[in-house]
Amino acid sequence: MGERCGWCGTDPLYVRYHDTEWGMPERDPRALWEKLVLDGFQAGLAWITILRKRENFRAAFAGFEPAAIARWGEADVARLLADPGIVRSRAKIEAAIGNARAYLAIAEREGFDTFLWRRLDGRPLQNRFRILDEVPASTPLSERIAKDLKAEGFRFAGPTITYAFMQATGMVNDHLVTCPAHASCAAAA
């Protein structure tokens, strides 16, 4: 049996996330949106910070229900800025609210899952990286998806954030080929 991808270290929360969630193809539109919002909050921070606060985010953001969040205003922004359980960035909070509105427009038109997955013909890309240094921070595909998201009104979804999102949601399988999770994610495709 191979070794896990080195980025997850030994923190039990991070290891569990790596082993059971990261890279598994996600098709649920609301779950996809939640992960994109969380990746936006992660900008400039370590993912483990967001992972440790994820349940607080879920409570503060109404279970990441876009229809509820899309109606929020300044009082909700103020409430979130006072919540020590989340990342308190006005720009990221306001982006999440705006992103909920953009999500709803896409969902009504074609479905958020369809909007994302059609760019890959519905099938995850199966990369075959052997060392972490081979894994890119962004790709032409993440640049195109980020551009499309921006055109829809999304913020905090640039090419690097979008690629991290694609990795997390299994749109690309970036587990190293030496990692046992590579095969399980490929089989889930």
Say if residues 132 and 176 touch (Cβ distance below 8 Å): yes
| Mean predicted confidence (pLDDT) in 54-81 | 98
| Mean predicted confidence (pLDDT) in 59-75 | 98
Mean per-residue pLDDT over the chain, rounded: 97
Work out the number of other CB atoms within 10 angstroms of the CB of residue 12.
Answer: 7
Q: Which helix (H) or strand (E) holds 179?
A: none
CA distance 62 to 72: 11
Beta-carbon contacts of residue 146 (< 8 Å; ≥ 6 apart): 157, 158, 159, 161, 162
**Tens digits of residue pLDDT in 42-55:** 999 999 999 999 99
Say if residues 126 and 170 touch (Cβ distance below 8 Å): no
Beta-carbon contacts of residue 79 (< 8 Å; ≥ 6 apart): none
Share above pLDDT 70 across residues of the chain, in percent, rounded to a whole number: 99
**Tens digits of residue pLDDT in 114-126:** 999 999 999 999 9
Would the pLDDT of 1 be above 60? no
| Mean predicted confidence (pLDDT) in 131-138 | 97
